[in-house]
Amino acid sequence: MSSLVLVEDAEGIRTIRFNRPDKKNALTREMYAAAAEALESGDTEQSIKVFIITGTDGIFTAGNDIGDFMERPPHVGGGDMPPVERFMRALLEVKKPVVAAVDGLAIGIGVTLLMHCDIVYCSDRATFKTPFVDLALAPEFGSSQVMPQMFGHAVAADLLMLGATWDANRALQTGLVTGVHSADDLAGAAHFAASVMAAKAPGSMRAAKALMRTPPEDLSDRISREGGMFAELLRSEEFAEAAAAFMERRLPDFSRFG
Ligand code: COA
């Protein structure tokens, strides 16, 4: 495992940490491959319930390593899947919840990847920038679709076309992040959120995520889709445990479920 990406498992939470602070955690092919492997394997390991993606003190990531890019330009969607695509597809496809904790700089793919996380916390000193047009490049990995959906076209254009830098308040106001914490409290807040989700029924958590990540459809179709999952979950061992815990006035214990 690469020391530039640290992977730590504890109490059902897999933390994936970009760890290249001397290069502002700029992401290389090796780092993408390590992070992809951590997501892919964690998604199939029963003991892992939640992922945290984070960086180091004061720096989430300065985005793609520009030297790496120039040396071997990836062709995403071009067939032979480059590590950056493997990582982003893994992030898009993991069934378990992902919490991101952003302290300091998030640039380029460091912002794009947040679109595919579930809970995003940042520190009050975090900044967000997607300088694709500044670099004579284009938006990536769905951000040209997801950002206008999330923020509306005019606000998304502030990031994707004007290349503005957003601070933590702007990120919170636009809905890019779930919450803002002091730099000292950020890791604790992310860990708390992850442990709350790790204690919940994993099948139900996967169902909620899958529904929320399903592309927009006719509302009537969505109601039927939800109804099918609801009915299936009503027959599950997880629901039996939740109902028994309610009747017995105790906390449910979902730890035996994967
Ligand atoms: N790719 C490769 N190396 C990077 C990098 C990146 N995306 N971002 C930072 N680095 C390296 C710098 O080259 C420098 O290396 P060196 O010490 O060997 O010279 C080191 O990280 C520190 O960066 P530096 O620019 O000196 O720090 P800074 O605090 O003045 O500025 C940034 C930090 C992140 C604002 C600036 O480095 C930057 O703009 N980086 C490019 C970000 C970017 O455009 N990313 C999108 C890529 S698609």
CA distance 22 to 92: 28
In this prediction, residue 47 carries a pLDDT of 95
Most distant CA pair in the chain, distance: 62
Q: Looking up tokens 């390991």, which residue turns up?
A: 45
- Atom of ligand 1 at shortest range from CA of 105: 34
Reduced DSSP (H G I as helix, E B as strand, rest coil) percent helix, strand, coil of the chain, to 5: 50, 15, 35
Q: How many domains does the chain have?
A: 2
Domain that holds residue 143: 5-198
| Test site for ligand 1: of 24, 57, 107, most ligand atoms within 8 A of the Cβ | 24
Q: How do residues 201-245 score in pLDDT, each as one tens digit? A: 999 999 999 999 999 999 999 999 999 999 999 999 999 999 999
* Statement to judge: residues 32 and 99 lie in one domain: yes
Q: Classify residue 253: in a domain, yes or no.
A: no
Is 256 a member of any domain?
A: no
Nearest CA owner, ligand 1 atom 22? 23
User: What CATH number does the domain containing 93 carry?
Assistant: 3.90.226.10
Domain match, 126 and 237 both: no
pLDDT digits (tens, 9 = 90+) for 146-197: 999 999 999 999 999 999 999 999 999 999 999 999 999 999 999 999 999 9
Q: Which residue's CA is the nearest one to ligand 1's atom 6?
A: 65
CB-based burial, 39-64: b 16+ in 10 Å, e otherwise: beebbeeeebbbbbbbbbeebbbbbb
**0.75 surpassed by pTM:** yes
Residue 174 counted as domain residue: yes
Ligand 1 first shell, C-beta below 6 A: 23-24, 26, 62-67, 105, 107-108, 131, 135
